[in-house]
Amino acid sequence: MTPQRLPTYYISHGGGPWPYMDDDMRQRFDQLEASLLSIRNEWGEAARAVLIVSGHWETTEFCVSSAAHPGMVFDYYGFPEHLYHIKYDAPGSPELAMRTRAMLQAGGVACESDAERGFDHGTFSLMKPLCPSGELPIVQLSIKQDLDSQAHLSVGRLLAPLRDEGVVIIGSGSSFHNLGLRGPAAIEPSRQFDDWLQQTLLATSTAERRRRVAAWKLAPNARIAHPREDHLIPLMVALGAADEEAAALVYNQADFFGSWTLSSFRFGEPVPVGAQAA
């Protein structure tokens, strides 16, 4: 049977442990949650595992999580105590971790393995709505501390064959990530950067898209949108893994936290209804 190529994604993952909240704050994530439920329908039965590039895990060299039963990383602060005792029970996949590491090393990219790394909120905040019961194995791939755009695009290209093997590649970050800027002062810089990002990903040739993304610091309000680009860099891996394929906007919200414009994107086409994993 011809393998079904899965799309890749760059997803703005929201704030902290939002799927586990039970107060009024939870409602702020309704639009994001609706987008995730829609995204899950795009995989059909073809997905057998998920590889998440989280903006919340940085290492000197690239690294994959290889635990069979990952724990939790509570990398947030200021939330009620019960949100530091939650558990997302998806399995890991030592086999996928080994495959990912081997693919990068074969391409000349150093990659290590971490059998202790648990799910950070860049992972479980997305996967709880996408797979509520933890039904798909998950491997995390770190971003490299140098935050080099070209290096992460290249890693994405090396990992592209995973898409034909039933693996969904997700870059998890945030299209606007300046925690110190909220309220009216954030509205226009956020909107302008998002306009540039949408124009770049949705309305340029693949060659121009590649060039503009690599040179993202030239975008309007680039350093206001991302004082540090840890939450943008996962985009590079997701895009690199679908380098020649069309992008689609799968989430857009102009009033996140009351003032941020956030977006998420898909690269490649959804899986046809009824398609199976290879």
Residue 90 lies in a domain: yes
Any idea which of 2-11, 104-113, 238-247, 258-267 has the lowest mean pLDDT?
Answer: 2-11
Q: Give the pLDDT band (50/70/90) at residue 55.
A: very high
Residue 273 lies in a domain: no
pLDDT at 18 exceeding the cut of 90? yes
Q: How many domains does the chain have?
A: 1
| pLDDT, greater one: 16 or 138 | 138
pLDDT at 26 exceeding the cut of 90? no
- The whole-number pLDDT of residue 59 equals 98
- The whole-number pLDDT of residue 25 equals 80
Residue 272 lies in a domain: no
Please state, in angstroms and rounded to a whole number, the distance separating the CA atoms of residues 137 and 278. Answer: 16
Please state, in angstroms and rounded to a whole number, the distance separating the CA atoms of residues 190 and 220. Answer: 9
**For 268, which DSSP code?**
S
pLDDT at 84 exceeding the cut of 80? yes
Residue 2 lies in a domain: no
- The whole-number pLDDT of residue 11 equals 98
Please state, in angstroms and rounded to a whole number, the distance separating the CA atoms of residues 248 and 269. Answer: 9
- The whole-number pLDDT of residue 273 equals 65
pLDDT at 277 exceeding the cut of 80? no
Q: What is the pLDDT of residues 162-191, one digit of tens each?
A: 999 999 999 999 999 999 999 999 999 999
Quote the mean pLDDT of the chain.
94
Q: Where would I find the beta strands (DSSP E) of the chain? A: 8-12, 49-59, 62-65, 111-114, 138-144, 167-173, 247-256, 260-267
Residue 175 lies in a domain: yes
Residue 100 lies in a domain: yes
Residue 60 lies in a domain: yes
Mean pLDDT for 146-161 is 97
Residue 278 lies in a domain: no
Q: Give the pLDDT band (50/70/90) at residue 1.
A: very low
Q: What is the pLDDT of residues 196-232, one digit of tens each?
A: 999 999 999 999 999 999 999 999 999 999 999 999 9
Handedness of CA 202, 205, 208, 209 (dihedral sign): positive
- The whole-number pLDDT of residue 27 equals 84
- Residue 100's domain is classified under what CATH number? 3.40.830.10
**Percent of the chain whose pLDDT exceeds 90:** 89
Task: Tell me the two tokens of residue 61.
Answer: 């060299």
Domain of 221? 8-267
Strand partners, 49: 167
- Look up the pTM and report it: 0.96
